[in-house]
Amino acid sequence: MEIANLPDLGPIASELTLAIGGMALLLLGAFRGDGALRLVGYGAVLLFGLAAVLVIGQPNETVLGFHGAIIMDPFAKFMKVLILIGSAVAVIMSLNYLEQEKLDRFEYPVLIVFATLGMLMMVSANDLLALYMGLELQSLALYVVASFNRDSLRSTESGLKYFVLGALASGMLLYGSSLVYGFSGTTNFPSIAEAATGHGMPLGILFGMVFILAGLAFKVSAVPFHMWTPDVYEGAPTPVTAFFAAAPKIAAIALFIRVMMGAFPEAVAQWQQVVVFISIASMVLGAFAAIGQRNIKRLMAYSSIGHMGFALVGLASGTAQGIQGVLIYLSIYLVMNAGVFCCILAMRRAEGMVENIDELAGLSKERPVLAFVFAMFMFSLAGIPPLAGFFAKFYVFVAAIDADLYALSVIGVLSSVVGAFYYLRIVKIMFFDEPAEPFEVPLAREVSIVLTLSSLFTIFFFVHPSTLISLATTAAASLSSGAVAVVGH
């Protein structure tokens, strides 16, 4: 009788921390009862910090764990740190809101911790099973937080809609996975890549790959799988929307890159077509559909669809340079997004939150600092130099041009110009329209700290961009060492 050895837990140290810590916070909340939100919330932020330290402490090389089911490399490190930052910021931003809206139940931070656990598992997945487990853990927690305001019709509708469509996307992903497994005989990414080499890829694997692509495109809300995004963003409580727009998107893009580069490096020519299409469609729809929106959260939903399109431009190039561009894009997008949602959280009057963009009229007279910061984020999202958003777009488009994707780059830049219209309209409303009723409720202290930090980052990114760029270069190189040689036109 052989006794199984304890597997090496080093590569999943951060996941273990979140899993055990999350359960501990759940117990803490259950025993303390109501009113434990702040305690559990700060506990969750502490956990994210601890997990980030553990991630950064991982060796700078590729480590496999659990019979190759998970992988830990600089790419995973980079993405995991981004996700942990995004989740920590989301928890910090939500505490005050939840108290004001009488939603202060301790399960909220616990669910965010478990969602983050799922995202870390997605980033580390090196196997179709690990991919699906992480994705489901993340999605299930997100469905619940979307309808966290269960007495609001719109919040429950958004949760239900997200759940039904998410289940459909999971079904497509599973169908694709089963085809890939059936035709390659394995669920492990490198083994799938191996099975797909030789003279031509089996049609079944290609079929499965497209279904997996569709499932993943749903999770990043890329066109044509974006239908859920505006309704869910509008209906969910505002800090939940802020969370949705950042960390889960980053995790899904990371998974997207991992699957395409890890499992299907031989099929670049095939998936490139698909990624180019959804990237163009997302950029164009994000730019045009946002023009008619009056609700700031719906507008941000279309904006995030567009931004995911821009991020996918980097992946479409299929090179290490493109991946580096995606990583830089996501880092900057995370920061800008946190800042914008802090500003949206400030749109509060005594009677409650307001979401219509016309309510912002004349903000520059009442609260000049807030108006300036809001306008600065809008310029940055539109990609106007020297703000950080410009550099984000710059790196993905340079990669796309180096990969000879001229049409993609031109359409991307043009849709970015169209998108600038609705960002700048918000600036116009704030600075040049007749003042509406002012927002008298001041921002909570922790939200203003997040707002300050993110606006400093956005303004002063151009002073010292090299740290982020070199980190992204290392991360991208670790991932695509095998794939670069394959790419070629």
CB of 88 to another protein, least distance (A): 19
Choose between 162 and 310: whose C-beta lies nearer to another protein. 162
Q: What b/e sequence results for 45-62 when a residue is b if at least 16 CB atoms lie within 10 Å of its CB, and e otherwise?
A: bebbebbbebbeebeeeb
Spatial separation of the C-alpha atoms in residues 154 and 65, rounded to whole Å: 43
Q: How far is the CB of 185 from another protein (least distance, A)?
A: 3
Closest to another protein by CB, 107 vs 157, is 107
Q: Are 319 and 476 in contact (CB under 8 A)?
A: no
Specify whether the CB–CB gap between 456 and 327 falls below 8 A: no
Please state the closest distance from residue 14 (CB atom) to another protein, in A: 14
Tell me the β-bridge partners of 356.
295
State which residue, 133 or 436, has the beta carbon closest to another protein. 133
CB burial readout 403-432, b (16+ within 10 A) else e: bebeebbebbeebbebbbebbeebbebbbe
Least Å from the CB of residue 150 to another protein: 5
Nearer to another protein, 13 or 477 (CB): 13
Query: Least CB distance from residue 7 to another protein, whole Å?
Result: 7
Rounded CA separation 246/87 (Å) = 8
Alpha-carbon torsion 81, 83, 86, 92, what sign?
negative
Question: Alpha-carbon distance 199 to 485, whole Å?
Answer: 17
Q: Which is nearer to another protein, 57 or 185 (CB)?
A: 185
Smallest distance from the beta carbon of 95 to another protein, in angstroms? 17
Task: Name the nearest CA neighbour of 376 among 473, 266, 459.
Answer: 459
For another protein, the closer of residues 114 and 228 by Cβ is 114
Cβ of residue 4: shortest distance to another protein, in angstroms? 4
CB of 409 to another protein, least distance (A): 35
In the bound state with another protein, the residue whose beta carbon lies nearer, of 140 and 486, is 140
Please report how close the Cβ of residue 58 comes to another protein at its closest, in angstroms.
Answer: 17
Q: Which residues in this chain contact another protein in the complex, by CB under 8 A?
A: 4, 7, 12, 19, 23, 26, 65-67, 69-70, 105, 107, 110-111, 114, 117-118, 121, 129-130, 133-134, 136-137, 140-141, 143-144, 147-148, 150, 159, 182-186, 191, 195, 198-200, 202-204
Residue with Cβ nearer another protein (3 or 463): 3
Q: How far is the CB of 98 from another protein (least distance, A)?
A: 13
Q: Based on CB atoms, which residue is closest to another protein, 129 or 417?
A: 129
- Kindly tell me which of 149 and 279 has the beta carbon lying closer to another protein: 149
